[in-house]
Amino acid sequence: MKHIDKIAVVTGGNRGIGKNIALQLAEKGIDVILTYHTHQIEALDVVELIREKGRKAAALQLNSAAIASFDEFFKTLSGTLTENFGTSNFDYLINNAGIGLNEPFESTSEAQFDQLVNVLFKGVYFFTQKALGYLNDNGAIINMSSRLAQSSVSGYSAYASIKGAVETLTRYQAKELSARGIRVNAIAPGPVATDFGGGIVRDNPQYNAFVKANTALGRVGEPEDIGGIVCFLCTQEAGWITAQRIEVSGGMNL
């Protein structure tokens, strides 16, 4: 199904899962504004790929942990929407930007914990809050959680706990934004073959084999596995889905 004059904002859309989300949205006929933290060239490459698919695109710099910078970001976003897209609002927000941490509970530092909170939770909370003034009614918000929020793997106590907070936030957002017809859901990926976390899923044969052996569908995830679900949640066919945690893990540890 093609979308007419719909726009998505994808944070961290320059690489990995975010890049695939941006490209799949474009294939569905949705224009994309993606954000990047430091890799501008990667982001501009994705913009060009989206334009090759016949859709409008732009890339904006965003530090998801710098909450004080959000007002300035949204001024830039507003100008971009007006000048490049001929509108003042967008329709879909995909909170994808993130970082990882594999550190035992007993040695996780306050600085490490705070960095995770700022990027993965506090940043998502207040970025979405600021975005509400630009998000159209009957739009959608998709937050990125993790399978680790519902399982226990050594070394991920901080990361997984914060993703659990994102899932709780998702339900509250869905409830409080329902009057505007805005649907809010969380995607919880299993291990995906990207450069995230140093590329361990993609590049470490032993870890890759471990995931395959413990997954019902017998393989690790690929970025397109996640991008496809995000795109579906932006369609009218998903119009009765909100406040849900949707795990996309190939049936890991059944």
User: So which residues are the catalytic ones?
Assistant: 159
Residue 16: which residues within 8 A CB-CB, separation 6 or more? 192, 194, 195, 196, 223
Task: Decide: helix, strand or coil at residue 14.
Answer: coil
> In this structure, what token pair is assigned to residue 172?
């509250």
Q: Burial of 94 by CB count in 10 Å (0-12 exposed, 13-18 middle, 19+ buried)?
A: buried
Report which DSSP code applies to 87. Answer: S
How far apart are alpha carbons 45 and 225 in whole angstroms?
21
In 3D, which of 32, 29, 24 has the Cα closest to residue 54? 29
First to last CA, the chain: 33
Beta strand pairing call for 31-36 and 90-95: unpaired
Beta partners for residue 72, in sequence order:
none
Residue 27: in which H helix or E strand, if any? helix 16-27
> In this structure, what token pair is assigned to residue 81?
């929407």
